[in-house]
Chain A
Amino acid sequence: MIGPFRKTRRPMPPEFAPPRHRQHSDRRPALPCAPIRSDGSFRRAIDMGRARLLITGAVMAFAFTAVGARLVDLGAFTNQDVASVQTHAIINPDLQTEKATITDRNGVIVATSLTTTALAARPDRLLDPVDAAHRLADLFPELDAKDLEAKLTSSSPFVYINRKLTPKMEQAVMQLGIPGLEFERAETRVYPHGRLLSHILGYTDVDGKGLSGIERGLEDRLRTSKEPLRLSIDLRFQHVVHEELSKAVTEYSAEGGAGVVMDVNTGEIMAMVSLPDFDPNRPASTPDINHFNRATFGTYELGSTFKILNTALSLESGAATLYDGYDATKPIKISRFTISDYHAKGRFLTLPEIFIYSSNIGSAKMAMDVGPPAQKSFMKSMGFLDPIALEIPETGRPMYPDPWSPISTMTIAYGHGLSVTPLHLANGVSAILNGGKLLPPTLLARDHVPEGRRIISERVSFDMRRLMRLNATEGSGKAALVPGYMVGGKTGTAEKPSSNGGYKKRALISSFVAAFPMNKPRYVVYVVLDEPHGTKETFGFATGGWVAAPAAGAIIEQIGAIAGIAPIQENAPEIQQAFAIELPGETKKLASLQQ
């Protein structure tokens, strides 16, 4: 406290002076050097001293008040700066990584960031770079001593020696005790399932920056939100498709293949495989061609599977009904092209027959009845003329003829002349079978299914289910039948365009699109093989029905069980009645009765 100096120091008039002062008024005061005089220069000096003392006191008082106020402030009120200091335990149960974890639809981790240590060096701080290089090279057999020496003697201020150190290696390097070496905590993207999801997830560079797939397409989402990203992929489905497709590709020595499983009712992609693939943990270890996503980026003329679209269009437009037919006796000759049938019947065919015998002639005539503009606008509404908006950047742009001539219309009817990605087709078939609503496909788990856009009526959708079921029981899709799951499907075999303009007879794109169970479709399975070769077992055939349909059947058998789909009494009268399509002539009546 600042004392009441004013009271004691003020000179008093003599009449108020205390008696003691009066008594000794003749004596000099106690201070030997400062005699008190009530006037003159001495008095002025004292006044000045007092004033200074007062100012100092005021400043001190102010300072103390400020300190006191601050103390009260700190103690009694929560302060912003103080609150930011960590004063509580970490309550977030999950480790916060730079990039969010990716899981499949069941929560199984498919990509995550692990903390690793990187070993770096500052060459200018190394005492003996050559010695250090040799000692480090002894420790890391994969590093070349010469290269390392060049690195450590270089003039750059900072060089990485190893970006991924195991804790053991870290310990060993520490024991070397080389000054100038530095450890850096870093995060490495790890893909526990390796090749299984290569094209979906993509991969990252050493700094974790996404270079392809989801890692690139959803980079911002992965960095801003730390919540795990849930994919629509079911890992078990993915494994089944990967396994069966790999088997088919190996067995028929195909160049590659693609497999897609879609939920027809939600538009979610349940599995998507493209072969050959790569290990996202070591993307550089495989040739670049393996990074090519055949399921979403590669565009192909997919052949007769387009007859599903063509028939749906024909029925929807009213140009034909299931009871109409077309003359398929003679090949169509138009300008320099000839359209002929692979399984030529040489007679008048009904619409279901055109579908199950996969008649190109009939399909071309059906398309011409509808007309080129209607076909083009139908393809446009199906999204077959634009790239699919997907969460990954690798989406292929379809190639279509411009102008859309009558000859194009005829060839597109059976899947030539319009190149789309396998995902386009799987999505289109889903829309045709789910009641006629086109849903945008997605690789992320969907909680709310969008309304979808109607492209065909429910009646036509049901007719298409009947036709695809008929084709599986009577037509080219028998190899994909799984008793109890009521599979329906359509084969497709297209010749690959050759570089000199025509088509290569021997290079095929063989595919099979299936859906099950046909009375209430759940999943569409699409299998494409690129340039398969026939084997002894297939009698040298490499068409969709021989090479792709068995794979689709094997996939359906396994995923049906995984999805827990209850088997259907396929020969129950109500199902038989609903799905029966009468076939005339040589073909048996009530064809679907025959298993």
Chain B
Amino acid sequence: MRVLVIAIWIAMVTITGYTLFHISFQVEALDGQLAELNQQIRDEQETIHNLKAEWSYSSRPDWIESLGKEFLPEMHSLEPSQIMAIEEIPFRRTDPQEAEAGAEAASAAPSGSTEVLPATLVRTSQ
């Protein structure tokens, strides 16, 4: 009986001790992992922060303007005359004869082949 009690005690102490250390080591390992991850997050944040500043620098209006002048020489700044209300755009004519003629013309020519795209979408100089 006495031996049994002692054995149980020793077993309990061993198990407790083992569990304690095991958990302790696990926590330590997780702690390390967390610290590492947090450091990674911080590094990423710093990179993002720097990139944001960099982006702000690279999108300076004067820089974009100079690029625009160099590579899009045809582009002009928007003029008030280019803006109009949607009501001002005339509706398509709904003349039935016109519509028929249009349909015939469309069926006669294979769609798309005769369509001529404008060379540029940009307003040409007046």
Contact indicator A110/B38 (Cβ below 8 Å): no
Whether the Cβ atoms of B79 and A557 lie closer than 8 Å is: yes
Q: Which 6 A-B pairs have the closest CB atoms?
A: A484-B80, A239-B61, A567-B80, A561-B78, A192-B57, A109-B56
Tell me, rounded to whole Å, the shortest Cβ–Cβ distance linking A587 to chain B: 27
Please state if B41 and A90 are interface contacts (CB–CB under 8 Å): yes
User: What sequence of 0s and 1s flags, for each residue 449-472 of chain A, a beta carbon within 8 Å of any chain B beta carbon?
Assistant: 000000000000000000000000
Query: What residues of chain A lie closer than 8 Å to B54, measured between beta carbons?
Result: 192
Task: Give the Cβ gap from A105 to chain B, nearest Cβ, in Å.
Answer: 14
A-B contact pairs, 8 of them (CB 8 A): A89-B37, A89-B38, A94-B49, A112-B49, A192-B60, A484-B80, A557-B80, A561-B77
B119 contacts the other chain (CB 8 A): no
Q: Is the CB of B34 within 8 A of A87?
A: yes
CB-CB contacts below 8 Å: B50-78 with A = 50, 52-57, 59-62, 65, 77-78
B117: Cβ under 8 A from any A Cβ? no
**Cα distance A193–B62 in the bound complex, in angstroms:** 9
B82 to nearest A CB, angstroms?
Answer: 9
Query: Of the candidates A97, A115, A236, A482, which one forms a contact with B61 in the assembled complex, judged by CB atoms under 8 Å apart?
Result: A236
Interface membership of B81, Cβ < 8 A: yes
B42 touches A90 (CB 8 A): yes
| Contacts across chains A and B counted by CB atoms under 8 Å | 80
A110 interface neighbour in B46, B56, B62, Cβ under 8 Å: B56
B83 on the interface (CB 8 Å rule)? yes
* Cβ-based interface call for B85 (8 A): yes
Q: A-side interface residues toward B, CB under 8 Å?
A: 86-90, 93-95, 97, 108-110, 112, 114-115, 190, 192-194, 196, 235-236, 239, 243, 482-485, 557-558, 560-561, 566-567
Q: Are B80 and A192 in contact (CB under 8 A)?
A: no
CB distance from A565 to the nearest CB of B (A): 8
B79 CB → nearest A CB, Å? 7
Q: Is B80 within 8 A of A112, CB to CB?
A: no
Instruction: Report if A95-B80 is in contact (Cβ < 8 Å); known contacts: A109-B52, A243-B62.
Output: no
* Known interface pairs A90-B42, A114-B50; A566-B83 also in contact (CB < 8 Å): yes
B80 close to A561 (CB less than 8 A):
yes
Tell me which residues across on chain A come within 8 A of B55, comparing CB atoms: 109
B48 proximal to A (CB < 8 A): yes
Q: Which residues of A contact B52 (CB under 8 A)?
A: 109, 112
By the criterion CB–CB under 8 Å, are B60 and A109 in contact?
no
Q: Any chain A CB within 8 A of the CB of B45?
A: yes
A190 and B80 within 8 A (CB): no
Q: How far is the CA of A236 from the CA of B34 in the complex (A)?
A: 43
